[in-house]
Amino acid sequence: MCNFYYGKESKLLVGKKKALPLNNNKEISFDHIEIISRKSKKKISINQISKLPKELKTKIFLDLKKITLKKKNFSNFNFQKLPNFMGVLNLTPDSFSDGGKFNKKSKGAKHALQMFKSGAKIIDVGGESTRPGSKTINKKIEWKRIEKILKQISKKIPISLDTRKSEIMKKGVKEGIKLINDVSGLKYDTQTVSILKKYKTPFVIQHSKGTPDNMQNKPRYNNELLDIYDFFEEKIKFLRLAGINHNNIIIDPGIGFGKNLKHNMSLIRNISIFHSLGFPILVGNSRKSFIKELSGTNDTKNRIGGTAASSIYLMMQGVQVLRVHDVNEMQQTLKVFKQLLRY
């Protein structure tokens, strides 16, 4: 999908059948598609699809059906209103952005409630840092970091659990979490899929190349865009064979997880390719290193401008969920931007 329209112009074009709505949402639409292979790229208008060879045309119409179909809401997300914010709550001493800041139960709970009041649809709670270079911690330590705060806030606001460990997932489900966010792409723990199948909890599949301690050691791809797309296709097939048949799944291309600047830019600029998989897209762009590399701002807390700029771009590509640290600032950024489009 490419050549997007938003707001009043989008509604007008959809009404005239000159553009197709994303997820049956007339607020955002597109009138061109890009046909991508490992050898070539070709951009055509939606009106030219009928002139393509039969086999290719059939495949494109199947993809368009998934792209334009209304998404079922889950985990407190409303996929008809873009974007949904996932607030970040790191209960770790060594997170890349805010390590140690919210370790105390009272501070963590207060911050989680504040992010929810500011507009976050769900709060992503993590007790293990997965920043580049970080080491795996014992599951007992991880659970100890998050147990008290989960018990305190999971009945008050929707919680996503950021963990790679099946035992932590199981305990979190019993505390009432609404989403599991596994940055390993369900690869770290062999029991994860069994837990997801048993409890039917919605989850995020994130692409990650390598593990946190080595993922930034000269990551390589044949074609980062198509390699990661293929990863998701294969993972969904694997999950179906494993008996997970529901569609309460979100995909995350994993910005900064085994990617250099070129890879990250390619993914962000072409993020709409993942809509044809048929699942909501989540992107964690907040305070990431690509902002430092593009702007020269090294201090993670001073990357709000870069987070805001990339959030606008991602929203305009139809990304349904943005995982951010600064919920109030991002909410304000996109609220003003949307209003400007309406005038």
Active-site amino acid positions:
288, 323
As given in the structure block, the two tokens for residue 308 are 């805001």
- Rounded to the nearest 10 degrees, the angle between the axes of helix 166-174 and helix 192-199 is 20
The rounded distance, in Å, linking the Cα atoms of 63 and 227 is 18
CB contact at 8 A, 162 and 124? yes
CA distance 282 to 267: 12
Length of the chain: 343
Give the count of beta carbons closer than 10 Å to the beta carbon of residue 65.
11
CA distances, 255 to each of 58, 145, 152 (Å): 32, 25, 31
Residue given tokens 């949307």 in the structure block: 338
Q: What is the DSSP string of 193-228?
A: HHHHHHH---EEEE--SS-TTTTTSS---SSHHHHH
- Can you tell me the distance from the alpha carbon of 247 to that of 244, in angstroms, rounded to the nearest whole number? 9
Residue 246's Cβ-count burial label (10 Å; 0-12, 13-18, 19+) is: middle
Alpha carbon distance, N-terminus to C-terminus of the chain: 26
* φ, ψ for residue 229, nearest 5 deg: -60, -45
Provide the residue type at 62 as one letter.
L
| Those residues with Cβ within 8 angstroms of residue 307's Cβ, 6 or more apart along the chain or in another chain | 285, 286, 287, 291, 324, 325, 326, 329, 330
